[in-house]
Every structure is written in C-alpha cells, then in structure tokens.
C-alpha cells in the first residue's frame, strides 16, 4: 500500500477512535465488513443500519462525522508531539496486540526525533521501548512505608535485569515505580486513563516530562480532550497488563484498583505476582487474596525472573543484595537479636521493645531483602 494511502486510511481509524460509542470489538466488526476504515467511516446511514449498529448509535455517528473536523484534530495531535499508532503499524506493541480487546489506536508521547535524519542512540532506544521485555508494577494509592520500600527494592532489581517498568501514573505505588525506575536509569511506560493533552493526577505533569526525557513513553487509547473519568480506568488497566509479561502487585487493599489490573493479566495469560505483607496491615489484604487465588508469591526479584525465564544480570539467580546495604537502627537491632538464635515474632517483639505492627513490617522487608528467612513463623539470619 502506498504511504499516502496508508496515512489516509489511518486517519479514519482515528475518526472511529474519537467517536464515543464504537469500541475495539465493534470497530473490528466494522473493519471485517467494510474491509477498510475509510469505507466504514463514509458508509451511508442505510448501510450502517443494515449491519445492526442500532438506530441511536447510527444517528449519533452521522451527527458526529458531519460536525467533527478530523484533519484539524490530527493537526493538533501532531502539534502536541503525539504519535498515533494503529494496530496495523509495524511498531505497534506486539505484546499488546496479543490480547483479545487490544485498542485499535493508541496515542504515544515520547522523545521526538531531531531535525537530523540520522537517529541518535537515545532515539533508537526510545523507538524500541515496546520491543523490550516489560513488567507492570502496581498497587495502592496510599502506600505504607513498607509498601514504598518494597516497591523501590523490587523496581531496582527489575531495572538492573533490563526490564521496562509499566504502570498507570496514579498516586502511590504507580508513581513510586515510575520515579524509582528513572532514578535507577531504567525505562518506564506510563499508561493514562485520559487523553494525552490532559494530566491526571495534575501533580504528575513533571513526572510525565521526566519519563519522556529519560527515554520512556506515555501512552493512552483515549482521544485528546478525554478527561480521567472513573469508567476509563478499568480499560486503562487492561493496557498496563497487556504491555507486560507479568503484573506485580506490591501492596493493595481489598478494593484496590490494582487488583483489576491483576485480573486482566490472568485473563490475558500473563503472570501475576504478589508481594506478601504484614498481616496486621489493611494494605496487605489485597496481595494476600491474590496469593490465595494462585498468584506467584514474591520475596525477591529472582522469583519474577525465574517465572519469566529470564537469567539474572550476573548470569545466575539475581538477589536483592545483602552486603553494603544501608540498615535502619531498628533493622540492626533485630539482626543483633537474631544473632543469639532463631526466634518467633513474639520473642522478637519482646526483646526489641518495638511495636508489634512495626516488627511485622520490618521482618517482611528484611525477608525480601534477603537478610533473614522465615521458617514456619521462626526467623533466622541468612548472613
């Protein structure tokens, strides 16, 4: 197909994306019937009725295409530095296209090419981000200190092993995952539940800029002008999991939206990983429920690498590292106590004089860091 014809056809894919009422599955049916998006977009009202779209939808679509200036819309997309990918494009994410309800159109914002015809290495890196292996990291918008620390530790290990981190740019665990990826010189993809001309939450404008600047990407299936309404987020979550080999939930309450992402991952045949947490914390209930349902229990990065068949950066099982790490005074206190011998949590609480909730959180973190082991409720040193 000639490039100009391909671009013309792509325009009508975008036309259907902008029209609210025809989703991915209905668009595929139209494409199958009319063979091209252009023919479908220009079809008569009678033809659209004939294929069973429904009278209200047909009339709404007719009104929309009469009053909507598609060329002006595409010009604005271009002026904002946004790239449009349709599922027929060769650089559309291959993994995403494997899911049943993949979005026909996605909008992508990443580092722009320079006026130079030669691509720099950083631009090539940006262009190939969708070809790299990725893991989604999601969780509560209200993380505890434990959740924050665990997310940072796990992200650091995943990035060290060359994995792209995907998340939803929400407050809490999502933001921590994006920021810590950038901090560790990794690549991250943020998936928005609104148009790319919007920022939600608004305080993440700077984070979005940092993601793009660092070679990552921000994407959305929603057209320009679309606000971040609640109904958009379940759809957004299927893209987060669809871009990833697996989804890791580090901390989540029972009603956390991150559990929807995990559910999408399971339905898509992707791996689901859950980090255990203190049983006293409400933010551990969601991950505990995932583990009960068969999610892979994660106590270190090596658990994810092993499940995905990825060799660690050192050519052997990756570890979170137990030497040269900074320890808090409370962690040092617990290590000193365990040097005397293996102990249960009640004895550790009594000897340390620390609050029971804090001890539970510390023990979980220290186990994930590879400092201690838990054998049926009895803790012992591994260093």
- The dihedrals phi and psi of 189, each to the nearest 5 degrees, come to -115, 125
DSSP 188-215: EEEE-SS-TTS-SSGGGHHHHHHHHHTT
Q: Which DSSP letter does residue 119 get?
A: P
The structural domain count of the chain equals 3
Please tell me whether residues 29 and 171 are part of one structural domain.
no
* Cβ partners under 8 Å of residue 257, min gap 6: 170, 233, 234, 237
E strand map for the chain = 83-86, 105-110, 134-138, 164-167, 188-191, 217-220, 246-249, 271-274, 296-297, 343-344, 372-375, 378-381
Low-confidence ranges of the chain (pLDDT < 70): 1-5, 112-127, 312-325, 383
Which pLDDT does position 383 carry in this prediction?
53
Please tell me whether residues 190 and 304 are part of one structural domain.
yes
CATH number reported for the structural domain that contains residue 360 in this entry: 1.10.10.10
Which pLDDT does position 113 carry in this prediction?
56
Please tell me whether residues 48 and 163 are part of one structural domain.
no
**Lookup: tokens for 309:** 């068949």
Is residue 322 included in any domain, yes or no? no
Domain that holds residue 50: 1-70
Pick the last residue of a domain from 279, 308, 337: 308
Is residue 16 included in any domain, yes or no? yes
Which pLDDT does position 151 carry in this prediction?
95
Is residue 346 included in any domain, yes or no? yes
Is residue 86 included in any domain, yes or no? no
Exposed (0-12), middle (13-18) or buried (19+): which is 5, by Cβ within 10 Å?
exposed
Please tell me whether residues 179 and 302 are part of one structural domain.
yes
Is residue 104 included in any domain, yes or no? no
* Cβ partners under 8 Å of residue 51, min gap 6: 29, 30, 33
Which pLDDT does position 325 carry in this prediction?
63
Is residue 177 included in any domain, yes or no? yes
CATH number reported for the structural domain that contains residue 196 in this entry: 3.40.50.450
Please tell me whether residues 134 and 10 are part of one structural domain.
no
Is residue 90 included in any domain, yes or no? no
Is residue 119 included in any domain, yes or no? no
Query: Hey, which residues does 379 pair with through a beta bridge?
Result: 343, 374
Which pLDDT does position 365 carry in this prediction?
82
- The dihedrals phi and psi of 83, each to the nearest 5 degrees, come to -100, 140
pTM of the model: 0.82
Which pLDDT does position 3 carry in this prediction?
53
Confirm if 258 and 139 have CB atoms less than 8 A apart: yes
Please tell me whether residues 158 and 212 are part of one structural domain.
yes
Q: In whole angstroms, how far apart are CA 4 and each of 7, 97, 200?
A: 5, 24, 35
Helix (H, G, I), strand (E, B) or coil at 164: strand
Evaluate the CA torsion angle 359, 363, 364, 368 in order and state its sign: positive
Phi-psi bin for 321: left (phi > 0), alpha (psi -120 to 50), beta? left
Which pLDDT does position 53 carry in this prediction?
84
């Amino acid at each position: 197909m000639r490039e100009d014809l391909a671009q013309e056809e792509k325009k009508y894919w975008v036309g259907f994306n902008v029209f609210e009422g025809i989703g991915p599955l209905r668009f595929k049916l139209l494409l199958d019937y009319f063979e091209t998006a252009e023919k479908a977009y220009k079809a008569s009202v009678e033809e659209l009725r004939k294929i069973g779209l429904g009278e209200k939808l047909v009339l709404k679509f007719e009104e929309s295409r009469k009053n909507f200036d598609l060329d002006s819309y595409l010009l604005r997309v271009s002026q904002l530095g946004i790239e449009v990918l349709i599922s027929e494009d060769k650089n559309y994410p291959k993994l995403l296209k494997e899911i049943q309800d993949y979005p026909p159109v996605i909008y992508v914002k990443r580092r722009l090419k320079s006026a130079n015809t030669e691509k720099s290495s950083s631009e090539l890196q940006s262009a190939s981000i969708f070809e790299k292996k990725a893991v989604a990291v999601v969780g509560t918008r209200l993380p505890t200190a434990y959740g924050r620390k665990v997310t940072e530790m796990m992200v650091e290990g995943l990035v060290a092993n060359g994995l792209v981190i995907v998340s939803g740019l929400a407050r809490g665990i999502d933001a921590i995952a994006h920021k810590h990826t950038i901090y560790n010189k990794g690549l991250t993809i943020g998936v928005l539940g609104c148009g790319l001309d919007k920022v939600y939450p608004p305080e993440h404008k700077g984070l979005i800029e940092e993601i793009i600047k660092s070679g990552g990407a921000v994407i959305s299936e929603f057209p320009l002008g679309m606000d971040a309404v609640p109904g958009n987020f379940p759809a957004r979550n299927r893209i987060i999991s669809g871009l990833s080999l697996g989804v890791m939930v580090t901390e989540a309450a029972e009603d956390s939206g991150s559990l929807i992402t995990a559910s999408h991952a399971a339905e898509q045949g992707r791996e689901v990983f859950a980090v255990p947490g203190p049983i006293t914390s409400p933010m551990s209930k969601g991950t505990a429920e995932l583990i009960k349902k068969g999610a892979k229990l994660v106590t270190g990065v090596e658990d994810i690498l092993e499940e995905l068949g990825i060799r660690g950066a050192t050519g052997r099982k990756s570890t979170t590292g137990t030497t040269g790490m900074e320890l808090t005074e409370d962690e040092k206190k617990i290590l000193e106590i365990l040097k005397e011998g293996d102990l249960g949590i009640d004895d550790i609480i009594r000897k340390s004089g620390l609050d029971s909730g804090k001890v539970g959180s510390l023990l979980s973190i220290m186990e994930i860091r590879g400092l201690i082991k838990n054998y049926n409720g009895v803790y012992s040193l591994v260093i």
